[in-house]
């Protein structure tokens, strides 16, 4: 993989992004339409939650900075009861159960770029929070993880002919459905996730 104009990180929330801002000493470059932080050849956009926010932020960063790599990073729920919280996955396929092909009426599927040496997973992206066990079970028939942004980042990155890589860490499982500890999990595992990205992912892209 070649380097062009740096690496753009797309992260949904400030809570997930905080270790990157602090650890890399990133400075705020813009506050609207999105908060943008920069440091050396890395810059980061906090998109907000959901597919529209994520897709719009990706288009914005592609036009403004023309990066070579787009990295979508953040938390995701696992459909596996026994999954260990904090486990990091490189996404090899995204599936959108709420976005169907007009011809086939089947969920829209995309394949982001992947990297060797990491755990792989299939990600379901939808504009609906997975709040109960039944919802997790439905997703389990076609994906390993669930989020609300990943597929949109892939879609817009492809529109701009950008390489797009997704890494997610497990923040909850069906055992945690409906429980109020998701934020605590994100805060607990965001720092190890940051270290994995900075120590093991970014050096391979430079």
Flag whether 130 is in a domain.
Answer: yes
**Does residue 152 register a pLDDT over 60?**
yes
pLDDT band at 1 (very low <50, low <70, confident <90, very high): very low
> Is 2 inside any structural domain?
no
Q: Is residue 116 part of a domain?
A: yes
- Does residue 117 belong to any structural domain of this protein? yes
**pLDDT value of residue 131:** 78
Domain assignment of residue 139, yes or no:
yes
pTM of the model: 0.93
Rounded to whole angstroms, the Cα distance separating 86 from 84 reads: 6
In a domain, 71, yes or no: yes
Among residues 83, 41, 81, 114, the alpha carbon closest in space to that of 189 is found at 83
Task: For residues 158 and 177, give the distance between their C-alpha atoms in angstroms, rounded to a whole number.
Answer: 33
Residues 175-198 have pLDDT tens digits of 887 777 889 999 999 999 999 999
- Of the listed ranges 59-73, 109-123, 135-149, 167-181, the least confidently predicted one is 167-181
Per-residue pLDDT band for 102 (boundaries 50, 70, 90) equals confident
Instruction: Give 4-38 pLDDT, tens digit per residue.
Output: 469 999 999 999 999 999 999 999 998 999 999 99
pLDDT at residue number 5: 67
Distance CA 21, CA 141 (A): 37
pLDDT tier at 200, thresholds 50, 70, 90: very high
Does residue 91 belong to any structural domain of this protein?
Answer: yes
HSE toward the beta carbon, residue 35, CA cutoff 13 A: 14
Q: Are 53 and 60 a contacting pair, CB within 8 Å?
A: no
What pLDDT does 4 receive? 46
> What 3-state class would DSSP assign to 97?
strand
> Residue 164 forms beta bridges with which residues?
70
Where does the pLDDT of residue 172 fall: very low under 50, low under 70, confident under 90, or very high at 90 and above?
very high
Query: Which residues constitute the domain of residue 198?
Result: 7-205
C-alpha 98/C-alpha 18 separation (Å) is 30
pLDDT (0 to 100) of residue 133:
86
Nearest to 127 by CA among 173, 96, 95: 96
Tell me what the mean pLDDT of segment 55-59 comes to.
98
Give a yes or no: residue 47 inside a domain: yes
Q: Mean pLDDT over residues 169-174, rounded?
A: 95
Over range 141-166, report the average pLDDT. 97
Averaged pLDDT of the chain: 93
For 199, other C-beta atoms within 10 Å of its C-beta total 9
Residue 44 sits at φ, ψ, to 5 deg, of -135, 140
User: What pLDDT shows up at residue 2?
Assistant: 37
Q: How many domains, in total, are found in the chain?
A: 1
For residues 76-95, average pLDDT = 96
- 16: domain CATH number is 3.40.50.1580
């Amino acid at each position: 993989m070649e380097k062009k104009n740096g690496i753009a990180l797309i992260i949904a929330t400030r809570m997930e992004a905080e270790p990157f801002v602090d650890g890399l000493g990133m400075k705020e470059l813009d506050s609207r339409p999105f908060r943008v932080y920069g440091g050396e050849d890395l810059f980061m956009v906090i998109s907000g939650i959901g597919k529209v926010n994520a897709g719009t932020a990706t288009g914005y960063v592609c036009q403004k900075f023309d990066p070579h790599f787009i990295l979508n990073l953040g938390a995701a729920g696992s459909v596996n009861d026994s999954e260990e919280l904090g486990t990091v996955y490189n996404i090899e396929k995204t599936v959108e159960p709420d976005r169907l092909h007009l011809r086939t009426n089947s969920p829209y599927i995309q394949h982001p770029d992947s990297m060797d040496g990491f755990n792989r997973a299939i990600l379901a992206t939808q504009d609906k929070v997975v709040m109960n066990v039944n919802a997790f079970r439905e997703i389990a028939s076609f994906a390993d993880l669930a989020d609300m942004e990943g597929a949109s980042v892939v879609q817009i990155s492809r529109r701009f002919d950008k390489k797009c890589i997704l890494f997610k860490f497990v923040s909850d499982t069906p055992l945690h459905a409906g429980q109020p500890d998701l934020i605590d999990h994100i805060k607990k595992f965001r720092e190890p996730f940051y270290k994995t990205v900075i120590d093991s992912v970014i050096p391979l892209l430079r």
